[in-house]
Amino acid sequence: MPFIQTTIPDLLVFEPQVHQDARGYFFESYNESVFQKAGIDIRWVQDNQSSSQYGVIRGLHFQAPPHAQTKLIRVLRGRILDVAIDIRKGSPAYGRSFSIELSAENKKQLLVPKGFLHGFAVLSEQAEVLYKCDELYNKPSELGISFADPALGIDWKIPSAQAIVSEKDKVLPVLSELDSPFVYTTNRS
């Protein structure tokens, strides 16, 4: 199976099978039947793509229900440190972060379910990131917490003097101030 369970329940890394030869490479970045065989039945409705320079930190964001999003993140060019944080009340991993380097080279993808904060830092000179979403973007439901929350202890792999962060992200609250709208359930099929 191309899915690897992380240390946080329901947060998965997808490693597609890459076929390489003298011409280059080919891989299926998404195949509905492969996901369904793994019990992941998601209808994707929006693709987002961003381009950012070294030092950019985007996040940590989520959309509140009923507009909560599951995301499948991958890198088309460059490399990023991708970060997800469990904010499902009652989860054994509540407040815990998981980070992974995603790159055009390694072709790994992170499946971030509803109930997680998400963000990334650009580690290469430039990076292009593509992510699929199962819900449309809804500005009024977009929330987040500070990427610099000391309680999270995230090493973004970017020196603070070189971090490039939006004004919106600089003023987000810390996790302890968040009343999460998500609840962890163990009733998985």
CA distance 85 to 93: 9
Identify the residue whose tokens are 């609840």: 183
pLDDT at residue 164 tops 90:
yes
Q: Which of 61, 67, 94, 118 is catalytic?
A: 61
Active-site residue flag, 131: yes
pLDDT at residue 28 tops 60:
yes
pLDDT at residue 189 tops 50:
no
Query: To the nearest 5 percent, what fractions of the chain are helix, strand and coil?
Result: 10, 40, 50
Give 176's DSSP letter: G
Give 164's DSSP letter: B
Active-site residue flag, 94: no
> According to the model, what pLDDT value does residue 188 have?
52
* Angle, vertex CA 96, rays to CA 176 and CA 126, nearest 5: 100
Q: Is the pTM of this model over 0.85?
A: yes
CA distance 16 to 29: 6
> According to the model, what pLDDT value does residue 135 have?
98
Mean pLDDT score of the chain, rounded to an integer? 96
**Beta-carbon neighbour count of residue 70 at 10 Å?**
19
pLDDT in tens, 77-86: 999 999 999 9
pLDDT at residue 12 tops 80:
yes
Half-sphere exposure of 137 (CA within 13 A, CB side): 8
Cα-flanking dihedrals φ and ψ of residue 40, to 5°? -110, 100
In the chain, domain spans? 43-183
pLDDT (average), residues 39-51:
97
Q: Which of 25, 54, 67, 131 is catalytic?
A: 131
pLDDT in tens, 137-159: 999 999 999 999 999 999 999 99
Question: Pick from 122, 109, 96: which is nearest to 31 by CA?
Answer: 109
Bridge partners of 126, per DSSP, are: 53
CATH 2.60.120.10 fits 43-183, yes or no: yes
Q: Tokens for 150?
A: 């000391």
pLDDT at residue 33 tops 90:
yes
Residue 186 pLDDT class (50, 70, 90 cuts): confident
**Beta-carbon neighbour count of residue 162 at 10 Å?**
9
- Beta strands at 182-183 and 142-144: parallel, antiparallel or unpaired: unpaired
Task: Note whether 169 and 144 are within 8 A (CB).
Answer: yes
